[in-house]
Chain A
């Protein structure tokens, strides 16, 4: 069983839609939760970071962590064509070893 599971998509939405991206995980000891955005043929870039449970908001992006369900989410409000990318979740026990999901490909249509 993979440590982190993520639906690969692709997910196609119209511009302005609310996007929900999700990951589940198996290791209840994970404490650090991150979302990365990766454009085609580029390296990932950090979008959001959350420590332990709870919500975090940054502009159009909201990250949620539900440790009781071992489930994390990223919401994108008012999605834009420039949000079209692959979104990777990642989590960590001890901030040196990170476990990544396989990524969800998002396409926002104008």
Chain B
């Protein structure tokens, strides 16, 4: 039981490049989330998916797209990376009935030059 896994662990991009951050969970959770964490800003919700086939915007969705591929996987795509997207990205999942118990992945550190 690996919990929430994220790939890659670390990535360097040049401005304008695209990439997809992958997230998978093996806890059979319905809800999945993408956050970014910046110094002094805390965790901010980018997108979430309450169930397979649905996605909704969070606090800072601009510049990102998401795909809920199936119940296990939720990916985050940067179409044209900008230096302002340099951050640590966390994926999380939770069960519908206990949404407050979010399980987080180890994070992806992204540097955009």
Interface range for B: 20 to 34
Give chain A nearest CB distance to B27 CB in angstroms: 14
Question: Are A44 and B99 neighbours in the complex by a CB distance under 8 Å?
Answer: no
- Complex: A100 Cα to B36 Cα, angstroms: 11
Interface flag for A8 (CB, 8 Å): yes
A36–chain B nearest beta-carbon distance, Å? 8
Residues of A within 8 A of B59 (CB): 97, 99
Q: Which residue of B lies closest to A4 (CB)?
A: B42
Contacts of B107 in A (CB 8 A): 41-43
Residues in chain B near residue A88, CB distance under 8 A: 42-43
Decide yes or no whether B34 CB sits under 8 A from chain A. no
**Which of B14-22, B44-52, B70-78, B79-87 interfaces with chain A?**
B44-52
Q: Mark A1-30, 1 if CB is under 8 A from B, else 0.
A: 000101010000000000000000000000
Q: Which residues of B contact A8 (CB under 8 A)?
A: 40
Check A101–B104 contact: CB distance below 8 A. Answer: no
A90 CA to B106 CA in the complex, in Å?
A: 19
Q: Which of A6, A95, A97 contacts B42 (CB 8 A)?
A: A6
* Contact of A61 with B by CB under 8 A: no
Q: Is the CB of A92 within 8 A of B100?
A: yes
